[in-house]
Amino acid sequence: MNSFSAQSRAKIEFVADLIRNSKHTVVLTGAGISTPSGIPDFRSTGTGLWSRDEPLEVASLSTFRTKPGQFFEWFRPLARQMFEAKPNAAHAALAEMEMRGFIKAVITQNIDALHQKSGSQIVIETHGTMRTLTCTQCYHQAQAGAHIERFVETGELPRCPRCAQLLKPDVILFGEQLPQAAWFAAQKEARACDLMLVAGSSLEVLPVAGLPMQALDRGAHLVVVNNTPTYINVRADAAILEDVAAVLPAIAERVLNG
């Protein structure tokens, strides 16, 4: 807490009190919570993936179907980073607060499974996941582990063990709809919560960016922790423009230990 400004310290204590008094806190996370683990985000100027690549050319469903080699060439370094990444202090703070009953669910736009690796149990992955792959021909679903490890190390494209056709990572590409079950679950949590904590998301990608409005429309409190402003900051009970990997542990410390 000592490294924060007096204003940030006051906000952290205020947010901790909100969480302690909440009956149903839900967290919405984005790429910013995983950048401290070495995974690049998509939209940061100069460092985001889309500052170097045209998303519709490398990460669309059309590209995967017509030029799978091009897709996998782009995907390989990102897969390596995600495969090797470890949860950071922000992930751990959320997992600990969930274990102690202060957080009911984490809704995430991330595909890296770092929330699960840190111990979070109720994780709603709105943009899919790197943990599984699905065959493009027979729709067999396979665990990603060995397939992704071999792909990262050798460049060998992942193939279905049943029919030998390409396996597609179960991540949402441009041109695909969100996974229906996850999207319905995310909306249900947004409408049920009395506090939504947005952590590490710029809230620029619809429809997930609209979830905080759904929470606000039903009378929930809203907190935003992100290093840049979002469209919803003006409606938030508190907005903390600091490093999420520093702020969330500070909040958790206050929540868990008073």
Q: Which domains does the chain have, with CATH numbers?
A: 1-38+86-127+178-258 (3.40.50.1220), 40-84+129-171 (3.30.1600.10)
Structural tokens at position 114: 């770092």
**Nearest residue to 136 via CA among 156, 108, 155, 164:** 164
pLDDT band at 10 (very low <50, low <70, confident <90, very high): very high
pLDDT band at 99 (very low <50, low <70, confident <90, very high): very high
CA distance 242 to 247: 7
Q: Which of 91, 127, 147, 221 is catalytic?
A: 127
pLDDT band at 79 (very low <50, low <70, confident <90, very high): confident
- Count of alpha carbons within 13 angstroms of residue 119, beta-carbon side: 14
Q: Which residues make Cβ contacts (< 8 Å) with residue 133, sequence separation at least 6?
A: 141, 142, 144, 147, 148, 158, 167, 168, 169, 170
Least confident range of 48-57, 151-160, 163-172: 48-57
Q: What is the mean pLDDT of residues 56-85?
A: 84
Per-residue pLDDT for 51 more than 80? no
* Residues 180, 27, 183: CA angle, nearest 5 degrees: 5
Per-residue pLDDT for 175 more than 80? yes
Structural tokens at position 67: 């030029």
Calculate what percentage of the chain has a pLDDT beyond 90: 72
CA distance 252 to 256: 6
Q: What is the pLDDT of residue 47?
A: 46
- For the question of residue 91 being annotated catalytic, the response is no
Per-residue pLDDT for 2 more than 70? no
- The torsion region of residue 122 among left (phi > 0), alpha (psi -120 to 50) and beta comes to beta
Least confident range of 47-56, 161-170, 198-207, 240-249: 47-56
Dihedral sign for Cα atoms in the order 246, 249, 255, 258: negative
Least confident range of 22-26, 80-84, 196-200, 207-211: 80-84
pLDDT band at 117 (very low <50, low <70, confident <90, very high): very high
Least confident range of 4-8, 181-185, 244-248: 4-8
